[in-house]
Structure 1
Amino acid sequence: MKHRILIVDDEAIVRDFISEVLIRMGYAPLAVEDGQKALDYLRRGEFDIVITDMKMPGISGIDLLKQTLGLWPDCRVIIITAFGTIEQAVGAMKLGAHDYITKPISPDHIEMVVAKALEYKTLKLENRVLRREISEKYSFENIIGKASSMKKVFELIQRASPSDSTILISGESGTGKELVAKAIHYNSPRAGGPFIKMNCAALPEGLIESELFGHEKGAFTGAIRATRGRFELADGGTLLLDEISEIPPSLQAKLLRVLQEKEFERIGSGQTIKTNVRVIATSNRDLKDEVGRGNFRDDLFYRLNVIPIDLPPLRQRNEDIPLLCEYFLDKFAQKLGIPAKALSDKTMGLLLAYQWPGNVRELENVIERATVISKNQELKPSDLPSEVSSGVPDFPRGGLEAGITIDGAEKMLILKTLKAHGGNKTKAAEVLGISTRTLRNKLQEYGFSE
């Protein structure tokens, strides 16, 4: 689409000159001699750029600037000014003008200013579209689940999002902690600000302080330039501290101070920097236990735990597995440009019976793998990884955990015993002290075929 450019100047020679430069650039500008005619055109439709003289009879360039931005806030207005009125042109930029051109007018200067104005507008529009897409991607509707435990999570994050309170999201790896954090950010008043993430477990202890607070040039060996930390980068937005339990004790007091006082200093600097950041922390450990063990400050825990959100593991919300499968099947079909595949009843039975130690992330990987490698429209058990298709999942090293039901414990024990004996049902039944028929009935109950 051709960009629309409007030239406004009471001198015909100036209008013609600027028009000729723009035509050489490949544009088809419209030129008028006064502000009133310019407004008539602006009321009929939007222009990408308006180039206007500052001093004209009737409506001045400043008045035209104000009315143009009132009609079309995204329009880039460029002011033409004489050398002696540059201060007025700078004043016009404070009112929203994009740039100014001084007389005598240079063709090169016109080309440069117009090109930069169009580039700025394009980037601004692209950024707006990107933010809209991100907002839609991380809307609450994209956090999938109908289990009662997930409904409670939805209600909590919807209530928490409009606030500025610190949030602690807990849950096993793969339960979607970062997805929830992004949903909170992009549905909060800070959605227009940055979302900055720092994985505390991925950094050596000696680098975490610098990553959080930044450093000055020469603050330590290798600090060849001043660097802003995550708190500065996240100013006006949200800072996600992933795996907060890995923050070393020596830094926990400094982090507590930032949360309480909203200020910090870069390493090697005595200058205090104010910060306006919402902090969301995540942990796959129980921070209360870490406090009890002396690994985590209790005052920092209470400061982070203003709004706690606990994400249940996938094995505790089996009813969500069919919904998640449907979502991932559609997602990868769109990605690959193919019709969405389906799951056979046996395949779904295996997915429902599996313990999912890697939670939703593991399920997503399994569906992606099956979608890519299967030649069939309906995914079979043979399209699944061996630990899923065999019906004998890998179990967490810790064994049974608090909160599991009696039926769940029985199921885990049966499947673990079967795995330990290579799938031999007779031997597994003998060890379990039940008949082979009972074992077979239990396996059918769990969705496993012969």
Structure 2
Amino acid sequence: MSARRCGTTTALALLVGAVLAGTAACAPGATSGPPTSTAPIAGLDQAAYARQDAERKGTFSGDPAKPYLQFLPGETVRGAGFALNRPGKVCFSNASLSNVWRQTGWLTMYQQFVALRDAGRLAALEVRDAQDSENTQVADIDYLIKEGNCDGYIVAPATVDATKDAIERACATGKPVIVFDRGTTATCVTSFVHSIGGYAWGIDASTFIASKLRSGQRVVALRTASGVDVFEQRWAAAQKIFRDAGITVTDHITGADPAKIKNAMADELAKGKIDAVWTDLGDQAVPAVEAFQDAGQPIPPINGEDNMAYLRAWKKHGFEGFAAVYSCFQWRTALLGLDSLLHGTDIPKDWVLPQVPITAETRDQVLAANTAMPDVHSARFGGEDLPGFPQVWIERKMP
């Protein structure tokens, strides 16, 4: 994992892919600027930024009622070479279940497996959880290769680099390998399943915040972790958009720890007025809201994600909000993609899924559709037609 460098020289990973990883130490309160600086943002992949910006407005193929099966047109993988004449066994190496987005995604993936198993399409799903350890994940992948009798592999990498060799060993078995969520530097994967990406997320959220401010105003940025591609891309997009708008940004890496978030916000409130708060993960938004309440200060614009706690706080307190989305249904798509290959059906090589933000105009509709769901639920989970809905996602018992 890359070490963090403060301010605008933050080291940036370049591949697409969300979600929690270990944090790197840095003194809080690094300020990017001056706002009018034209110095390059270290590590910003301008081509990837431009591509994802365009993909935000792209036309997706497939049924809009099944966004987990939509895709942007492009190269396909031929399923004929992977087809079985029996139900297959899937082996899944998961980075972790260390945040609520990952937990919602795993519940959705498992219920999709139940549906495929009951339909006689898949026989088994073997899962190993690396608990955010790169070394553990490498050992898990090697174990599955040696002992798992796998017909295909799914990997959600802990980081983009550490599992490269292990993923290449899985590819060398000749079985299909699907990577989703975070990217990988392994180039052999059969298909990469992901929402548009971290730059698109960052553009959506940062454009909203910038639209509420004027040049010279101040934003506090709450960052989850350095060295994780989806977070680094979100932050790179934010730096670019805020710099272009003449907005000053002070960032804190918090690990999404509520206590650290509140401490950071208290420190910044003591320095003066905060005009907006930008977060790179929805889990950070509610503690930020609470910090303003604790200080007896009005709540400025704060972006979040599609987790229900943020959506409910946004409606209850009436601040200006915006929920960027990194579509949780990609967990389901990864399994459906591998199932398709094992049945001889072609799939996209780079499977880009839509990520549609929740705005003030659509928020209440989303809340109404998820009334029974707990605060930790991700509204864009895409599993309403799966077995066990809604009880499985309400009870949240991990399989």
**Structure-1-length-normalised TM-score:** 0.26
Structure ranking higher in helix proportion: 1
Whose radius of gyration is greater, 1 or 2?
1
Higher relative contact order (CA 8 A, sep 6+): 2
